[in-house]
Amino acid sequence: GKLGIALVGLGSYSEGQLAPALQQTKHCYLAGIVTGSSDKAAQWKTKYNLPANACYTYETFDRIKEDSNVDIVYVVLPNALHAEYVVRAAQAGKHVICEKPMAVTVEECDRMIAACKEAGKMLSVGYRLHFEPHNKEAMRIGQQKVFGDVKWIEAEHGLSEATGWRLKKALAGGGPLMDVGIYCVQAARYLTGLEPVAVTAQEGFKHHPEKFNGIEESITWQMEMPDGIVAKCTSSYSEKQNRLLVEAERGWLELSPAYSYAGIEGRTAEGKMDFAQVNQQALQMDDFALCVKEGKPSPVSGEEGRQDVKILQAIYRAMHTGERAVIE
């Protein structure tokens, strides 16, 4: 049968993407919700035909332990709350999916991984692009050296606007780098199958210092990868950017937009990529459900999430010191 998923945090991503995707999944379904709002609980209960005992608050969340319909808890809260709820979910005996970035520090990631291991439960991160055909093709071309060795990567992901907890360092852990720049870090890693060894970074000019108090408005960074590969990346909360470019010895590829929920387009030196649009979130959740059922490791594991957080922290270190930060 299908595995039950409980969504923790019914904000825009849960409402706009995950809950609709759970209407299309084959191996999992929406089995519970965790929210601080009784209005939202009532709305969701009606809309998704949930039983009354499938609705939890943040206070009653730990009782989900007794709920045999819920196999997987999906944490969709502001970044700084991920660690607490992933640990509580593992302690309630549930497998866990955590949204990106996995947490705001590597230490939190370590605690999350340890809690899931201790509970004998699986942990994965909401990296939906691993299930998106254009990005998968880019991984194949890069990792299998279809156009020879990758030489140069450009990755840009920015939003024209950000609001709410995303502007608060204590909840977001940082600015656009944490929220959308992380996709560029992921891309450089999944395009090459290699890990950056060092980074340099520069904070962009702050047009609105009162709004971007304690966080960057924009950032540019460079990642040194093995074999002399360089990735040049930018991220912003005041300029829309969404592109990935790879230059290799005998060819190139570009995804633009590269990271969207829908409408991703790709071309290579050989022409336009021709792939169907998919529901990334449905594929991502189904893959995890199958991993749980079959006991096989998730390609988007907690370790994968931890590695990105480690790199994000090195990028901030480089930005603040102005020095090259080595990633051990």
Give the three-class secondary structure for 156: strand
138 touching ligand NAD, by CB under 6 A: no
Half-sphere exposure of 328 (CA within 13 A, CB side): 0
Q: What is the DSSP letter of 64?
A: G
Is residue 77 near ligand NAD by the rule CB under 6 A?
Answer: yes
By CB under 6 A, is residue 95 in contact with ligand NAD? no
Closest among 10, 5, 21, 7 to 261, alpha carbons compared: 21
List the catalytic residue out of 56, 74, 85, 183: 183
Do 84 and 260 meet the contact criterion of CB atoms below 8 Å apart? no
Residue 88 binds to ligand NAD (criterion: CB under 6 A): no
Active-site residue flag, 316? no
Amino acid present at 29: Y
Stretch 275-314 residues interacting with ligand NAD (CB under 6 A): none
The residue from 9, 142, 174, 176 that contacts ligand NAD (CB under 6 A) is 9
Per the listing, tokens 């709350």 go with: 81
79 binds ligand NAD (CB under 6 A): yes
Per the CB < 8 A criterion, the answer to whether 25 and 288 are in contact is no
Is 206 among the catalytic positions? no
- Measure the CA–CA gap between 27 and 289, rounded to whole angstroms: 6
Closest approach of Cβ 87 to ligand NAD, in Å? 16
CB under 8 Å to 207, separation ≥6 — which residues? 217, 238
Question: Strand order of the sheet with strand 123-125?
Answer: 55-56, 28-34, 3-8, 72-75, 95-98, 123-125
Binding mask 21-60 for ligand NAD (x = CB under 6 A): ---------------x------------------------
Asked whether position 216 contacts ligand NAD by CB under 6 A, the answer is no
Work out whether 100 is an interface residue with ligand NAD (CB under 6 A).
yes
Binding of ligand NAD by 76 (CB under 6 A): yes
Contact 204, 177 (CB under 8 A): no
* Helix locations, 213-301, DSSP H: 280-294
**Site membership for ligand NAD, residue 10 (CB under 6 A):** yes
The reply on whether position 132 binds ligand NAD by CB under 6 A is no
Cα–Cα distance, 158 to 139 (Å, whole number) = 22
CB of 179 to ligand NAD, least distance (A): 6
257 binds ligand NAD (CB under 6 A): no
Residue with tokens 């991993």: 291
Q: Is 11 in the site for ligand NAD (CB under 6 A)?
A: yes
Instruction: Name the residue nearer to ligand NAD (CB basis): 78 or 174.
Output: 78
126 is a contact residue toward ligand NAD (CB under 6 A): yes
CA distance 168 to 170: 5
Residue 148 DSSP label: B
| Closer CB to ligand NAD, 164 or 193, in the complex | 164
Binding marks (x or -) toward ligand NAD, 150..189, rule CB under 6 A? Answer: --------------xx-----x-------x----------
Q: Which is nearer to ligand NAD, 99 or 137 (CB)?
A: 99
- Which neighbouring-strand residues pair with 199? 223, 325
| Residue of the chain from 54, 74, 97, 99 that contacts ligand NAD (CB under 6 A) | 99
CA dist., res. 73 & res. 95, Å (int): 6
Select the residue whose beta carbon is closest to ligand NAD and give its number: 11
CA distance 31 to 33: 7
For the bound state, the minimum distance from the C-beta of residue 245 to ligand NAD, rounded and expressed in Å, comes to: 21
Which pair of structure tokens corresponds to residue 43?
């709305």
Catalytic residue among 94, 100, 121, 310: 100
Which of the residues are catalytic? 100, 183
Interface positions with ligand NAD (CB under 6 A): 9-14, 36, 76-79, 81, 99-100, 126, 128, 164-165, 171, 179
